Amino acid sequence: MQNKPRISVIHPTCRPDIARQTREEWLDLASDPDSIEYLLCIDSKKDLEPRTEKITSNLKEFFYPLKNEESVGPVTKINYASKHSLSNCLLFAADDLETFKDWDYSIANVTNWEKDTVLKITDNTEHVQQELHPHLIVNPAISRSRYEKFGYFVHPDFYANFSDTFLSFLAHKDDVVIEDEKIKFYHNQHKYQKQTSDHALERSLDEFQWEMHKRESFLYGQETFYKLAPNYITKAEVQNLSEEFLFANQKRKNNILFVLNSINIKNN
């Protein structure tokens, strides 16, 4: 293995067996698996403190204790794994995400990962995303520079809901988002349980997804987002975005509107 991996895969999970299966699938499809560190962060019922198991030189599993007999949620686990990452590219992975052959080569070479960068990776639910919230970055990869700028992958005040919305808010505010239509993942929720529909809004949810989709979880995430957003943008940035909007292409205009609406919606 190289002294420094090219990509750090950050994978929080409540389903260790499925997550390990996903890890094997991703490494099997990689062009250079030895240049990838794969960091799984798993709920643990027996540990009182976070514990690390080194599977190989580039595969680690972190076991994170429950809090009040419940999972601490994906955000805490994402940030804990990220804290132990080494590469310049931190790539989010989920249990049901399937990738493509030589994905690591494509992602490693899509940009200069030493810069402040967020890669927006689309998937098979993109048509729904475009209808509901096209600004949302649901499958991100962030640069080391980006991680060090904020000190986290996703803001630690979130449990799950709206954490990706806040990540998207910051990324579009700073105009550091890049995309490549050739880099696309696939959500295969058949890994959880038998699905009756392939439509994203009609899929069945397992117990962990139900926890995150509860009304209380949604409202907590929403309130946290609207509380944080105004504190992460300056008056000068608002002015600059307003001026940029006049001459931006339509896609950038939509993303600027998302940023500006995020800090004004509570006052409307």
**pLDDT per residue over 25-77, tens digit each?**
999 999 999 999 999 999 999 999 999 999 999 999 999 999 998 889 999 99
Q: Which residue has the tokens 């579009």?
A: 172
Question: What integer pLDDT is reported at residue 208 of this predicted model?
Answer: 54
Supply the mean pLDDT for the chain. Answer: 90
Element (H, E) at 25: helix 16-29
Are the C-beta atoms of 38 and 23 separated by less than 8 Å? yes
Phi/psi zone of residue 187: left (φ > 0), alpha (ψ -120 to 50 degrees), beta?
beta
Q: Which of 262, 237, 88, 113 minimizes the C-alpha distance to 178? A: 113
Of 10-19, 62-71, 169-178, 207-216, give the range with the top mean pLDDT: 169-178
For the segment 202-259, what is each residue's pLDDT rounded down to a tens digit? 545 555 555 666 788 889 999 999 999 999 999 999 999 999 999 999 999 999 999 9
From the candidate CATH numbers 3.30.565.10, 3.40.50.880, 3.90.550.60, 3.30.360.10, the one assigned to the domain spanning 7-232: 3.90.550.60
Query: Percentage of the chain surpassing pLDDT 70?
Result: 89
Sequence-ordered strand ranges (E) for 25-86: 36-44, 51-56, 59-65
Where does 40-175 have alpha helices with state H? 74-83, 103-108, 126-132, 144-150, 163-174
- Rounded Cα gap, residues 84 and 66, in angstroms: 20
| Amino acid at residue number 109 | N
Query: Percentage of the chain surpassing pLDDT 90?
Result: 78
Tokens of 227: 């509380």
Q: Which residue has the tokens 């962990």?
A: 208
Q: Is 65 exposed, middle or buried (0-12, 13-18, 19+ CB in 10 A)?
A: middle
With cut-offs at 50, 70 and 90, classify the pLDDT of residue 200.
very low
Q: Write the DSSP string, 193-256.
A: S--S-SSGGG----HHHHHHHSHHHHHHHHHHHHHHGGGG--HHHHHHHHHHHTTS-HHHHHHH
Q: Which residue has the tokens 């997550």?
A: 19
* 4 three-state secondary structure: coil
